[in-house]
Amino acid sequence: METTVTVDDHSRIAEVRRAAALLGQTMGLSPELIAQASLVTSELCTNILKYAERGEVWLSTLAANGTAYGLDIVALDRGPGIANFAAAAKDGFSTGGSLGIGLGTMRRAAALFDIYTAPGLGTAVLVRLQEKKLAAPGDDGFVVGSRMTPIRGEIVSGDSWSCLRFGPSIAVTVVDGLGHGPKAAEAAHAAIETFHRCVRDVGPAQVVQLAHQALLSTRGAVMAVACIDGDAQTLRFAGLGNISAVVHTQGVAVRLSSSDGTVGYGVQRARESSVAWVPRSTLILNTDGLSSRWSLARHPGLLACHPLLIAAVLHRDFARNTDDATVVVIQGQ
């Protein structure tokens, strides 16, 4: 479960705290974690108001096997950015908050803390809070982060994505149902369902082919599938339509190309390609809800961040409001 609150006034601080409490209670998180979330969100909101005047806090619960074990708190703004984060992170550095727990305290409370900021580039902070008594699942060679939002005014997203891990491998798909709203979501879900059913047994091109059959009675979708084998150090890819896919390995970006067409419409065949995958390789997939002109060139150092923060920053800076928008980032460990 997730929720996003715009922060543009001091009254929003209480709203974000309430949203975090509601999310935590609904998902069965402990009162201790909810109290911690309240402190952290207050601090992040106060920083946004003080330095950027406006931003947003995005809250999403973490769950494994149906049990929630944590909360990801991401604060995003397009303010001036923090020139000297090291100084700001020291205890006692005034963030001007009513509680003033400071970035340093926040960092120690967090199971995971990451920040992306530079002058002119805004600030993005990730704080992951985890239940102490519950074991979080391991990374198993891959760390995944994503952000998906529906077009303004819609509750359901016509985009969808999923990933599955098996053995040393991970498979991921991103789907954009044609148009938006419930009919687009229906097409996207049919593609995801096919992916879940088949991807352990067949390659990416065949998954797209099988999805094509499954989507003939729907409005159709564009779809990309990537299968990464950590042992063989290869990534196999196939797509139909305009899902963007780029692999960054050791400073080199390789764009993976999809075949022209629409899943579930006409006669289609997706070509399969393959590239090398090594530890620290990063795969970024996105739908056309992000501007086609998006580029990492504007964000020096972003690739070194946690995939969730990479996805959140790219979404913040390049998502258009006129479509469902999805970014998925997978990093090898």
Closest CB 325 distance from Mn ion, rounded Å: 8
Cβ neighbour number for residue 322 with a 10 Å cutoff: 10
Which residue's CB is nearer to Mn ion, number 56 or number 288? 288
Which residue's CB is nearer to Mn ion, number 75 or number 224? 224
Helix count and strand count (H, E) for the chain: 7, 15
When binding is defined by CB under 5 A, the residue of 125, 230, 323, 327 that contacts Mn ion is: 323
| CA distances for 49 relative to 6, 89, 107, 128, 229, angstroms | 11, 18, 20, 21, 44
Which residue's CB is nearer to Mn ion, number 198 or number 243? 243
Closest CB 158 distance from Mn ion, rounded Å: 7
Tokens of 222: 């564009």
Q: Pick the stretch among 35-43, 89-97, 234-242, 318-326 that binds Mn ion (CB under 5 A).
A: 318-326
Which residue's CB is nearer to Mn ion, number 157 or number 162? 157
What is the distance, to the nearest Å, from the Cα of residue 112 to the centroid of all Cα atoms in its chain?
A: 15
| CA distances for 326 relative to 38, 140, 148, 201, 319, angstroms | 28, 24, 4, 26, 8
How far is residue 168's CA from residue 170's CA, in Å, rounded to a whole number? 7
Residue 288 is a binding residue for Mn ion (CB under 5 A): yes
Q: Pick the stretch among 16-24, 74-82, 125-133, 286-294 that binds Mn ion (CB under 5 A).
A: 286-294
E strand residue ranges, the chain: 2-7, 55-64, 67-77, 112-117, 123-130, 142-149, 159-166, 169-177, 221-229, 234-240, 244-249, 252-255, 272-276, 282-286, 325-332
Q: Pick the stretch among 74-82, 105-113, 185-193, 317-325 that binds Mn ion (CB under 5 A).
A: 317-325
Count of residues near Mn ion by CB under 5 A: 4
Rounded to the nearest 5 degrees, what angle is found at the Cα of 99, between the Cα atoms of 95 and 103? 45
Which residue's CB is nearer to Mn ion, number 70 or number 177? 177
| Residues of this chain, 137-196, that bind Mn ion according to CB under 5 A | 176
Which residue's CB is nearer to Mn ion, number 49 or number 223? 223
Q: Pick the stretch among 206-214, 224-232, 266-274, 319-327 that binds Mn ion (CB under 5 A).
A: 319-327
Q: Pick the stretch among 17-25, 105-113, 140-148, 280-288 that binds Mn ion (CB under 5 A).
A: 280-288
Check if the beta carbon of residue 40 is closer than 8 Å to that of residue 109: yes
Which residue's CB is nearer to Mn ion, number 218 or number 287? 287
- What residues make contact with Mn ion under the rule CB under 5 A? 176, 287-288, 323
